[in-house]
A and B are shown apart, each in its own frame.
Chain A
Amino acid sequence: MLAKRIIPCLDVNAGRVVKGVNFVALRDAGDPVEIARRYDVQGADEITFLDITASSDERDIILHIIEAVASQVFIPLTVGGGVRAVTDVRRLLNAGADKVSMNTAAVNNPQLVADAAAKVGTQCIVVAIDAKQTSPGKWEVFTHGGRKNVGLDVIDWARQVQLLGAGEILLTSMDRDGTKSGFDLALTRAVADAVTIPVIASGGVGSLAHLADGVTQGRADAVLAASIFHYGEYTVREAKEYMRQQGVEVRL
């Protein structure tokens, strides 16, 4: 039976992991290669890099990072952030990424999803959706870190990106992101049930129970978290052991 995936997410700025990483005996706390290796050893099922580099001069650094990680860490790598064109997708895949995630660019230009999927295959294309609840049972798509409502219903958009050729959806609740109060389970389940492609739940994880809930109640295929792993609260292995106790199929 297919295991539910646990995916640590690293924010990378100009080649450095920026959110505090609290591994014991880490030689270089900001080194993406060393951190990725630690997560691999802990049993992470994939690793996602979110490139938050603002300066366009430093954009290509992520390519070198991915190249370095891919030569030492043999699990799937997803990269998001700053992807605007099919050539960006190609360059990231050629550097060693397995999947490329797009968010604002997909909203601004849905054809990009179709073009990229046609070029490199559906399985390499992840569409990230930032969702905010706007009324009971209704969520809308936001960009710019949750500041801009683009006027799209999340469920409609999820179905549309599937049709366009996305192979996976990374769904983040902007209401929950950073709150440590758990995933928006109603949102997660609504999207997971609306599409036939895998859905990764993100935003709000503060405990191991939250991770398990995302799968058991939210019906997510994978769960993504940053801070609970980065600050050494839990290891990926502890998360998996807990999920297994809850009856969730995991790779241990």
Chain B
Amino acid sequence: MNTMAMSVAVVDYGMGNLRSVAKAIEHVAPHASVRVTADAAEIAAANRVVVPGQGAMPDCMRELNERHLRDAVMRAAAEKPFLGICVGLQMLFGHAEEGDVMGLEVLAGRVPRFPQAAMVMPDGSRLKVPHMGWNQVRQSEAHRSHPLWDGIADETRFYFVHSYYVEPQDAVCIAGETTHGITFTSAIARENIFAVQFHPEKSAQAGLRLLENFMRWQP
């Protein structure tokens, strides 16, 4: 494979643990050029783009805009293998309850918070928010043979940490679902875009496999 095909930009907009994402990709693709970058030109030049994200959606959107990375991310989402992680998934959608901000609207839908009422169990105990820890992802029928799920069993556990989740308007893009009080969308797929609510870079072997699949993906 030529080196061009193996360049990946991890978009740095100042939020979250970018080093972990880059390290995990380097681990599964030791020959790839992995750049953590806030440079729009570098993002445009990369063959693959990863948008990680942690923290609050309003801060993420503000940083993305202030660093003039919005267009670069939008272009990447339109034309090359694109992996969104956590807030990197959430920002693809529209209205976010957190901070009452709009996302990039690449996909139609909203980003609500886990409802308190759904969190109380029959024995009086409570499911906690943030949804933090290892939970199962049920791969959707429509996307079960998606290249990013290759070698990953249905119902595999991944590491999550979030208080908000995406609610796509069009169920066709749902690639995985997870239950925590409510059942929510934990992975989406559309053309060159794959995005997940969990953290593959922190999900041990299963997560590394997903990242490896992403690096090989030819949508």
CB distance from B25 to the nearest CB of A (A): 11
Cα of A123 to Cα of B207 in the assembled complex, Å? 19
Residues of chain B contacted by A96 (CB below 8 angstroms): 17, 19-20, 23
Among A45, A93, A199, contact of B133 (Cβ-Cβ < 8 Å): A45
Whether A2 pairs with B19 at a CB distance below 8 angstroms is no
Which of A9-17, A67-75, A153-161, A227-235 is the interface stretch?
A67-75
Residues of chain B contacted by A75 (CB below 8 angstroms): 159, 202-204
Whether B125 pairs with A193 at a CB distance below 8 angstroms is yes
Cα of A122 to Cα of B113 in the assembled complex, Å? 14
Among A1, A93, A97, A198, contact of B132 (Cβ-Cβ < 8 Å): A198
A74 touching B133 in the complex, CB below 8 Å, given contacts A121-B55, A123-B161: no
Does any Cβ of B come within 8 Å of A120's Cβ? yes
Does any Cβ of B come within 8 Å of A168's Cβ? yes
Whether B132 pairs with A122 at a CB distance below 8 angstroms is no
Whether A76 pairs with B126 at a CB distance below 8 angstroms is no
Cα of A177 to Cα of B207 in the assembled complex, Å? 35
Cα of A38 to Cα of B27 in the assembled complex, Å? 18
Cα of A98 to Cα of B133 in the assembled complex, Å? 12
Return the chain B residue nearest A4 by Cβ: B133
A3 touching B125 in the complex, CB below 8 Å, given contacts A70-B19, A74-B201: no
Q: Which of A65-119 contact B (CB under 8 A)?
A: 70-72, 74-76, 93-98
Whether B55 pairs with A74 at a CB distance below 8 angstroms is no
Residues of chain B contacted by A193 (CB below 8 angstroms): 124-126
Does any Cβ of B come within 8 Å of A167's Cβ? yes
Whether A74 pairs with B136 at a CB distance below 8 angstroms is no
Whether A221 pairs with B135 at a CB distance below 8 angstroms is no
Whether A1 pairs with B136 at a CB distance below 8 angstroms is yes
How extensive is the interface on chain B, given as a class?
A: 35 or more
Whether A198 pairs with B20 at a CB distance below 8 angstroms is no
Majority DSSP secondary structure for residues of A touching B: loop
Does any Cβ of A come within 8 Å of B32's Cβ? no
Cα of A120 to Cα of B160 in the assembled complex, Å? 17
Interface 0/1 of A165-201, CB less than 8 Å to B: 0011000000000000000000000001100111100
Return the chain B residue nearest A252 by Cβ: B157
Return the chain B residue nearest A120 by Cβ: B55
How extensive is the interface on chain A, given as a class?
A: 35 or more
Residues of chain B contacted by A196 (CB below 8 angstroms): 116, 119, 126, 128-129
A70 touching B131 in the complex, CB below 8 Å, given contacts A123-B161, A193-B126: no
Residues of chain A contacted by B201 (CB below 8 angstroms): 74
A123 touching B132 in the complex, CB below 8 Å, given contacts A74-B202, A96-B17: yes
Does any Cβ of B come within 8 Å of A124's Cβ? yes
Residues of chain B contacted by A59 (CB below 8 angstroms): none
Residues of chain A contacted by B133 (CB below 8 angstroms): 2-5, 45, 198, 221-222
CB distance from B54 to the nearest CB of A (A): 6
CB distance from B135 to the nearest CB of A (A): 5
Does any Cβ of B come within 8 Å of A251's Cβ? yes
CB distance from A122 to the nearest CB of B (A): 7
Whether A3 pairs with B134 at a CB distance below 8 angstroms is yes
Whether A76 pairs with B159 at a CB distance below 8 angstroms is yes
Does any Cβ of B come within 8 Å of A219's Cβ? yes
Interface 0/1 of A5-27, CB less than 8 Å to B: 10000000000000000000000
Whether A74 pairs with B27 at a CB distance below 8 angstroms is yes
| Residue from B20, B124, B127 having most chain A Cβ neighbours under 10 A | B20
Residues of chain A contacted by B27 (CB below 8 angstroms): 71-72, 74
Does any Cβ of B come within 8 Å of A40's Cβ? yes
Return the chain A residue nearest B56 by Cβ: A121
Residues of chain A contacted by B16 (CB below 8 angstroms): 121
Does any Cβ of A come within 8 Å of B163's Cβ? yes
| Residue from B116, B131, B202, B208 having most chain A Cβ neighbours under 10 A | B202
Residues of chain A contacted by B145 (CB below 8 angstroms): none
Cα of A94 to Cα of B14 in the assembled complex, Å? 11
B interface residue numbers (CB < 8 A to A): 15-17, 19-20, 23-24, 26-27, 54-56, 116, 119, 124-136, 157, 159-163, 179-180, 201-204, 207-208
- 7 sampled A-B residue pairs with Cβ under 8 A: A3-B134, A45-B134, A70-B20, A121-B55, A123-B162, A167-B132, A168-B130
